[in-house]
Structure 1
Amino acid sequence: MMNDIAKMQELWQEMSSWMTTYMKSFYSPEAAKTAKSHLEIKSAKTIFFDDAQIVDGIILKEKHTWKVVKNCENLAKHLNLNEHDSLLAKMIGLFHDVGRFYQFTVYRTFNDALSENHAKLGLKVIKDLPFMAKLDEEDLATLKFAIGNHNAKEIAPTENQRHLAFAKLIRDADKIDIYRVLKPFLGPTDGTGCSPDFVDLFVAGKQCDYTKMRTQDDRKLVRLMWVYDVYFAWSLKQIVEQNYIEDIINNLVQDEKMMQGITRLRNYIQEKLQTKDIWQG
């Protein structure tokens, strides 16, 4: 086991070094000089952009990547995962959004509906990386399944409980930080309101197809409906303690039907926070 852990630790260092260099390779020369990443560009293929918006988008996703890695690490600790699985969780967090960098530089958007599915793009990016072959076959399959499903409306059906467990872990770790990232964009209502079909789903405590968002308030409602898709009570606690949920609620038009959904949501949160998290991987 010690030999296995040593190999996993070494592989983690190799992966994190590659990812740092890869992310930084999308910076403009000016941004690269002031970047806080711990590696300098040496042999990595570099793509330079003068568009400040591109640089801001890349930096945003770089910060998000490391936040999600930390969330994976903390959630793994909470769930009492062994060191091997904790490192695997961090690897999944590291690469979960690797497709975002190509996506944003080519399409100038993070909207999958207007470009490509960034999870599938990510799997293409890591497909031929030599160090991926250092993972054993099952770990590699788990990593690919988790990354491929991290942004799906629902996890693809599988009888492999390990694949399912790690997919749940990365989806939670990702959501925790997305609430932070989106906070500036979820301010006071612009008066457009929420689409009736979205409100119906919210009242029913169901998920919706986020690619069909039509208004600013739809975007907020989608983030509230996400709560029903958070798997671990620990994860929900992180979201609630940052007041993300109440901040969104306070920026919605609270008519009678909306209040039905809000009441249901608050009751669900209280119940969920009382549950005990169990790792089934």
Structure 2
Amino acid sequence: MIDIAHAKQEFEKYLDEYDREDEQICLKIVHTYGVVKYAGEIARKMECSGEDVELAELIGLLHDIGRFEQIRRFHSFEPGTMDHAVFGAELLFGEEKLIRRFVEDDKFDELIDAAIRKHSDFKLEGIHDARTLFHAKLIRDADKLDNCRVKLEASVEAMLGVSEKAAGEGLISPAVWESCLRRESVLSADRHVPVDYWVSYLAQYYDINFPETCEIIEEEDYITRIAGRLTYQEQDTRTKLHILTEDLNRHLEMPAVSVKE
């Protein structure tokens, strides 16, 4: 049995080890609870069992636990500083078995480990158990859903380290635009200027798993709103953002039929 209320209490105790006044820490705390909300919402929309709803919410609660140490050590979200997903999985399931603070039963340890370890992989691969794969897909969708809110509410400086004005300057790097044309997420290594990062935040929505997630993105008009947050200085950049926005919105209108594992 999963006691979400207990898990949240333990998560709050864990957060006491970090500086809650730090803007990046605050951003990730709010994000975590947003992912919990969306994970439960998607699971309920798919008419999952109560156990799977609770499991989805628990994975949402713990998916970014590695981020807090990354911020403390490096004050950065950059993947080059730390693989926060792998670090978080090792923190929970390594020698200390931190996971036992959040859930007593070890029945779902392998599933939770895989979902957290792979939630930020460029592509989701290597999971063969159907239920584990379902939850790995679900956390990726829930994570992206709350990232829509983050991109609209959080300060650009906290996300990118530059002002909102500076984030809209410059041209999109060719490799980043090629990924968009292929309807693929953008490789971290291909991002060179702030506007590349902003475009990559949009391109990740080509990698959505469930129609239920697409429906929420469409209802909130997230793609158009995220693209419109920055003022792009270059005409070429403005043109490409318009093309990307229209194509993403079309792409999300035609999802595959959802299959609940």
Instruction: Please show how residues 162-241 of structure 1 align to structure 2 within 5 Å.
Output: 162-183=131-152, 184-185=155-156, 190-241=168-219
Return the TM-score normalized by structure 1. Answer: 0.78
Given that 1:193 and 1:216 are in contact with CA atoms closer than 8 Å, whether structure 2 keeps it comes out as: no
Runs of 4+ aligned residues of structure 1 deviating over 6 Å after TM superposition are: none
Equivalent residue letter for 2:39: C
Larger deviation: 262-271 or 216-225? 262-271
Structure with higher Rg: it is 1
The size of the alignment, in residue pairs, is: 242
Is residue 64 of structure 2 the alignment partner of residue 93 of structure 1?
A: no
Determine what percentage of the aligned residue pairs are the same residue. 25
Equivalent residue letter for 1:271: M
CA-atom RMSD, angstroms? Answer: 2.3
Q: Which runs of 5+ in 2 are unaligned?
A: none
Give me the whole-angstrom Cα distance separating, in 2, the residues matched to 1:260 and 1:181.
23
Equivalent residue letter for 2:142: A
Given that 1:15 and 1:131 are in contact with CA atoms closer than 8 Å, whether structure 2 keeps it comes out as: yes
1:62 matched to which residue of 2? 29
Give me the whole-angstrom Cα distance separating, in 2, the residues matched to 1:56 and 1:271.
37
Q: Which runs of 5+ in 1 are unaligned?
A: 1-6, 32-51
Return the TM-score normalized by structure 2. Answer: 0.83
- Indicate which of 1, 8, 18 corresponds to 2:2: 8
C-alpha displacement of 1:262: 4.3
C-alpha displacement of 1:221: 1.5
Given that 2:31 and 2:146 are in contact with CA atoms closer than 8 Å, whether structure 1 keeps it comes out as: yes
Give me the whole-angstrom Cα distance separating, in 1, the residues matched to 2:59 and 2:77.
20
Given that 2:223 and 2:245 are in contact with CA atoms closer than 8 Å, whether structure 1 keeps it comes out as: no
Q: Which has the higher contact order (CA 8 A, sep 6+)?
A: 2
Give me the whole-angstrom Cα distance separating, in 2, the residues matched to 1:106 and 1:153.
24
- Indicate which of 110, 120, 125 corresponds to 1:141: 110
1:279 matched to which residue of 2? 260
Larger deviation: 230-239 or 177-186? 177-186
